[in-house]
Amino acid sequence: MSTLFFYTRQQFFNFKSAQTVAGFEFLSMSKLLSSQRIDGLDSDQQYFVDISSLAGFVKTNDFQLLNFEQLFGSFGENITFICDKVYETDIRYLFRYVFDDFSDIEVENEDVPVENGEKPISQTKSVKKITDLNDSELDSFFENFDARLYGHERFKEEFKGLVNSFRVFNKLGEHKILSLFLMGDSGVGKTEVARSIHKALGSKAKLAKINFGNYSSHDALNSLIGSPLGYIGSDGGELLKRVNESDIGLILIDEFEKADNAVFNYFLDVLENGKIVNSQADEYDVSGYIIVFTSNITKENFKSKISPELRSRFDYKGVFNLLTDEDKKKFVHFRVNQIISKYTELVSNDLPEKLHDIIVSEIDVSQYKNMRDLNKKIKDTFVIHLKSRRKN
């Protein structure tokens, strides 16, 4: 007869230290599986195996349930299973044929303070999300965002509306993730949207970015979330790594069209559940996050490439048009000023007079569609004037 015991977060560390003194060893399920320790378990040793990490994984990968049902049957009497009580409802149902009974652990001295230094089971890191901002912080977020991204006025208006609605319905548990799918020509500012959100949210860390252009397509999902469970040498995948390194609630997915169906289905789940789960069943709560997907596909190819289920889940899908000459001129003004002030600060303030006006007057913005090309032209023109100054 096997019983699964539930513990609360407050109980866990006391329980663990008391049981460790009593000679029990603690193992997490993912550790047990990923290091293939099952065969290496000592039959004379008593173990507590924590299955909390299975809750999210089995829920989203229920084809694995059969494997787990068989697996649990193979454990000996020396193993007792435990689980975080927050997953009780799901676990009781998913594993209804695995365990004969469900119960709560018993702890003495419940009021002893929680031990520090141990890493809690679930995530505690504080991440700044758009849903956490108060009204005045939100105003300055939009101000900052609008100033960084040139043009695309219609998108900016819609984005505001979407954010406002997202902040309300995320709190009601009805809208987990704000997703933007941006299409359009190269160099018009699709990726810049994510960079601008990143800066406007005041991040001090790296932007969490995945580029499917860098993945070979057949193992894109493995690169993203790690190799299948239990596979020796597998890691936790790039997605969780990137998200863990970031300090704000934003993920950028570049060149999404280069991913495959397995990846598309995976993101369908992420958008629906607001959770990132990797192959080792580590789970990360991304509710309140913005995910920006960018792609070079045309509107027509969008329909043939991306399934209707996934398409309908994007909150915004739109094509970014080329910038107007007016917006390009603003960009040139800004960039030239930026280069001049950086140069003055870092190299020398000995620059030709009216350099800004001279460079601006020499660049015909109507010849450029891609802002990267325009940026290159700005740099080249700047260097030419530095050289001509040296000759004089």
Ligand X SMILES: Nc1ncnc2c1ncn2[C@@H]1O[C@H](COP(=O)(O)OP(=O)(O)OP(=O)(O)O)[C@@H](O)[C@H]1O
Q: Which residues contact 17 (CB under 8 A, 6 or more apart)?
A: 115
> Residue 334 CB, nearest distance to Mg ion (Å)?
19
Name which of 84 and 255 has its Cβ closer to ligand X: 255
Q: Is 294 in the site for ligand X (CB under 6 A)?
A: yes
Look up residue 128 and give its DSSP letter: B
Sign (positive or negative) of CA dihedral 207, 208, 210, 214? positive
CB-CB contact of 256 with 295 (8 Å): yes
Q: Is 328 in the site for ligand X (CB under 6 A)?
A: no
Token couple for 270: 């992420």
**Stretch of residues binding Mg ion (CB under 5 A), selected from 100-108, 185-193, 210-218, 245-253:** 185-193
Q: Is 295 in the site for Mg ion (CB under 5 A)?
A: no
> Residue 328 CB, nearest distance to ligand X (Å)?
9
Q: Is 60 in the site for ligand X (CB under 6 A)?
A: no
Q: Is 150 in the site for ligand X (CB under 6 A)?
A: yes
Quick one: which H or E segment has residue 84? Answer: strand 79-84
Q: Is 186 in the site for ligand X (CB under 6 A)?
A: yes
Name which of 72 and 368 has its Cβ closer to Mg ion: 368
Among 9, 37, 171, 372, binds ligand X (CB under 6 A): 372
**Three-state secondary structure call for residue 261:** helix
Q: Is 280 in the site for Mg ion (CB under 5 A)?
A: no
Q: Is 293 in the site for ligand X (CB under 6 A)?
A: no
Among 34, 53, 170, 191, binds Mg ion (CB under 5 A): 191
Token couple for 23: 């000679």
Among 157, 92, 85, 170, residue whose Cα is nearest residue 130: 170
Alpha-carbon span 6 to 155, nearest angstrom? 48
> Residue 281 CB, nearest distance to ligand X (Å)?
33
DSSP state letters, 188-223: SSHHHHHHHHHHHTT--S--EEEEGGGS-GGGHHHH
Q: Which residues contact 132 (CB under 8 A, 6 or more apart)?
A: 288
Q: Which residue has the tokens 């289905």?
A: 265
Name which of 99 and 212 has its Cβ closer to ligand X: 212
Name which of 151 and 288 has its Cβ closer to ligand X: 151
> Residue 252 CB, nearest distance to ligand X (Å)?
10
Among 263, 371, 378, 382, binds ligand X (CB under 6 A): 371
Alpha-carbon span 224 to 266, nearest angstrom? 10
Quick one: which H or E segment has residue 312? Answer: helix 308-313
Q: Is 190 in the site for ligand X (CB under 6 A)?
A: yes
Among 192, 282, 283, 315, binds ligand X (CB under 6 A): 192
Task: Give the binding site for Mg ion (CB under 5 A).
Answer: 191
Task: Give the binding site for ligand X (CB under 6 A).
Answer: 149-152, 186-192, 294, 296, 323, 331, 371-372, 375
